[in-house]
């Protein structure tokens, strides 16, 4: 590996100053993507900025008003072990819990997964289904944007020169919201998704009809994408097996997969159909279980 200068700032201000001084610096989190690229000399940065020592970087907090806050050094394993994350943000926790192996999950961060911007990134569908935002700091100050718009292509993000991600915020879900994620991999573990699907469903209080739904597909386009036509079919309707099956069919038509060594485009479309049906049903069941537990508490 080529030698490089290493900085580990403790404040965001310091990090912004370092990135201003070294515009080509690469940000390091867990290194499970970046160090592999550096060893293969796909990337050969002269300067590395490690976000792991930033104050509060490894904090994973849940707040009744702000929702879930994920620091830039929060690992997949932290999420996997967080009962609170599973309870309220199941679709996201499921994505984090399938990444690589336990050794990888101890290093790999949620923010790194999103910034690496692989179309198959396992936490992205769940985060997008739950309306998560990326928090960004840079020379022009701070801003935030939806994770949905942050990943712009394979390995590409909306970050401008000198900017980095300070965390991810997942809002408090509306009452009676459930979510789910699943991916298909030929191998049981240590494999990347051939297709991943995340879904969220919110049920209306009085009627129990579907008030809002999101369906997010991974590894079937240059970035994770929403199946917006299928979502529209569900909104305002009483959910049923038949309706969900029809929406899954439509989602399959919205996927834009390629054929590659891992799967054909046709197989990926069929997977989208099957997994969407399963995940919308799972999110619906999760939402119903929350409705029941709310009634019990009342």
Binding site for ligand FAD (CB under 6 A): 26-34, 36, 51, 72, 99-100, 104, 107-109, 111-113, 115-116, 120-122, 164-165, 190, 192
Contact (CB, 8 A) for 51 and 15: yes
Q: Do residues 198 and 279 make contact, with C-beta atoms less than 8 angstroms apart?
A: yes
| Closer CB to ligand FAD, 68 or 203, in the complex | 68
Cβ 27 to ligand FAD shortest distance, Å: 4
- State in angstroms the smallest separation of the CB of 167 from ligand FAD: 8
Taking CA atoms, 279 is separated from 116, 196, 208, 247, 274, in Å, by 25, 10, 18, 12, 9
Contact 244, 199 (CB under 8 A): no
- In the complex, minimum distance from the CB of residue 236 to ligand FAD, in angstroms, rounded to a whole number: 34
CB of 261 to ligand FAD, least distance (A): 17
Among residues 40 and 84, whose Cβ is nearest to ligand FAD?
40
Q: Is the CB of 199 or the CB of 287 nearer to ligand FAD?
A: 199
Would you call 58 helix, strand, or coil by DSSP? coil
Nearer to ligand FAD, 108 or 250 (CB): 108
Sign of CA dihedral 119, 142, 18, 76: negative
Q: Which residue's beta carbon is nearest to the bound ligand FAD?
A: 112
C-alpha–C-alpha distance, residues 202 and 3, integer Å:
51
The minimum distance between CB 137 and ligand FAD, in angstroms, equals 9
């Amino acid at each position: 590996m080529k030698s490089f200068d290493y900085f580990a700032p403790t404040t965001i201000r310091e990090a912004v100053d370092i990135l201003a001084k070294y515009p080509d610096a690469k940000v390091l989190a867990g290194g499970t993507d970046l160090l592999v690229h550096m060893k293969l000399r796909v990337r050969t940065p002269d300067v590395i900025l490690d976000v792991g020592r930033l104050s509060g970087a490894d904090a994973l907090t849940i707040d009744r008003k702000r929702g879930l806050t994920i620091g830039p050094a929060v690992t997949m394993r932290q999420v996997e072990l967080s009962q609170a994350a599973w309870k309220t943000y199941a679709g996201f926790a499921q994505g984090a819990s399938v990444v690589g192996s336990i050794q990888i999950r101890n290093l790999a961060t949620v923010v790194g997964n999103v910034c690496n911007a692989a179309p198959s990134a396992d936490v992205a569908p769940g985060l997008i289904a739950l309306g998560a935002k990326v928090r960004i700091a840079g020379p022009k100050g701070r801003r935030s944007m939806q994770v949905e718009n942050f990943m712009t292509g394979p390995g590409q993000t909306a970050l401008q020169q000198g900017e980095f991600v300070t965390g991810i915020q997942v809002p408090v879900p509306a009452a009676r919201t459930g979510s789910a994620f699943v991916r298909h991999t030929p191998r049981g573990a240590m494999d990347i998704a051939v297709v991943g699907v995340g879904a969220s469903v919110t049920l209306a209080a009085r009627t129990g009809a579907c008030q809002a739904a999101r369906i997010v597909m991974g590894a079937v386009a240059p970035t994770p994408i929403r199946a917006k036509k299928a979502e529209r079919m569900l909104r305002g309707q009483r959910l049923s097996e038949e309706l969900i099956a029809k929406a899954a069919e439509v989602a399959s038509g919205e996927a834009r997969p390629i054929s590659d060594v891992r799967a054909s485009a046709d197989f990926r479309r069929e997977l989208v159909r099957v997994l969407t049906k399963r995940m919308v049903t799972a999110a619906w069941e999760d939402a119903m279980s929350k409705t029941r537990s709310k009634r019990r508490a009342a």
